[in-house]
Amino acid sequence: MFDTGITGFMLLATSLVMLMTPGLAFFYGGLAGKRNILGIMIQSFVSMGITTVLWFICGYSLCFSGDTMGGIIGNLDKAFMQGVDLNSPFPGNHKLPEFVFIAYQMMFAIITPALITGAFVNRVTFKSYLIFLVLWQVLVYYPFAHMVWGGGLLAKWGVLDFAGGIVVHAIAGFAALASVFYVGRRRDKESPPNSIPLIAIGTGLLWFGWYGFNAGSALDVNAVTGLAFLNTDVAASFAAVTWLAIEWSQHRKPKFVGLLTGAVAGLATITPAAGYISLPAAVFIGVAAGIVCYLAVKLKNKMGWDDALDVWGVHGMGGVLGVILLGVFASKTMNSAGADGLLSGGTHFFIKQCIAVVGASIYAFVFTYVMLAVINKITKVKVAEADEDAGLDESLHGEKAYDEGVI
């Protein structure tokens, strides 16, 4: 009944996407100051536990079961995985067990809120973050996952998002910006990255895992799977080199962190388009990602927005750019299940992509800001000044990343 090749590939892809969350923890942990390494890393790892619990209780059902509220959210028919058994096929590909699809999509739900944490490193209490993690998924991530991937409102309208330009990067990036505006600036804004090798390890794990993120989103094993895989690598590489070149010309020295950040920007930007565009278009998207995301980070610094680890500039703007450029470069000759973009005469598709990603970003920004204000009524969102000065590793968690004297 089920295809063992497709099932095996999707289990591998699921494992790769799971690896991205620890990779993100290493990436953020290396960028953080030495007193806040564990504080930022635990926020990624705890999402692996809490999100899995939520996914089992209601998350999968709300994203991929039924259609309520005019296509905004699913229903609870599959809450607690009721009605799903060993013989249940994934409705989008009957060669794949639904259990595997459940696991694959759960990994996306795990990493998306964890992306936001880089913006408010060393400023948010752990208790408030746990509440934020639950509410943000239920009220922001689940609706957009359903609307785009679960056959909801945006899918019916014709919006495309291959692996998460809207559903992951745009809404996480603009939620991160809202978080920055709410919690304010760090007291020690000049704290340098504590470990560039740790950033490199995190980037390597993210890049490796991204092949499962994008190629796995074909939910099959065919030419589109290979296309998404190659487009992912090409865009990341061109973006990394572009960022390196820009920064080298600006600072007269080639910066390793810039090269790594550029790669992540390229990965985020190609995500919505990976399985719908040609290889030359992926090259253009990679170069555009390196330029636009670099300029977004420069703008953030000029405006004084204390997005500590550049979540908005890299993921937010990368996601928005990728969705818009998908509206430009999409071609049914590359994927018959896709659409024709602006260059192929698809003006209406291009407009829909722009409206969808701008609307999603605004919703995520406004809702996140309001949600943080509500959470603050329940428990303090921002840490006390003394705790921030001491570092969250010791003040909140009672642990240190390294023995005294190592760093």
DSSP state of 45: H
User: Does residue 42 form part of some domain?
Assistant: yes
Q: Please give the DSSP secondary-structure letter assigned to residue 382.
A: B
300 within some domain: yes
Q: Residue 160 — φ and ψ, nearest 5°?
A: -115, 145
Mean pLDDT computed over 304-311: 93
- Residues 185-199 pLDDT 10s: 988 777 789 999 999
For residue 126, the tally of other CB atoms under 10 A from its CB is: 15
CA dist., res. 407 & res. 401, Å (int): 9
List the CATH number of the domain containing 214.
1.10.3430.10
Q: With cut-offs at 50, 70 and 90, classify the pLDDT of residue 402.
A: confident
Asked if 396 and 387 count as a contact pair (C-beta separation under 8 A), the reply is yes
- Would 404 be classed as within a structural domain? no
pLDDT (tens digit, 9 = 90+) per residue, 329-372?
999 999 999 999 999 999 999 999 999 999 999 999 999 999 99
pTM of the model: 0.96
Q: Within a domain: residue 95?
A: yes
Element containing residue 349 per DSSP (H, E) = helix 347-378
400 belongs to a structural domain: no
Task: Give the range of the structural domain holding residue 299, as residue numbers without chain letter.
Answer: 4-381
Radius of gyration in angstroms for the set of CA atoms belonging to the chain, rounded to a whole number? 20
Cβ neighbours of residue 27 under 8 Å, at least 6 residues apart?
198, 199, 202, 203, 205, 206, 264
Domain count within the chain: 1
| Residue 259 forms part of a structural domain | yes
Specify if 35 maps to a domain: yes
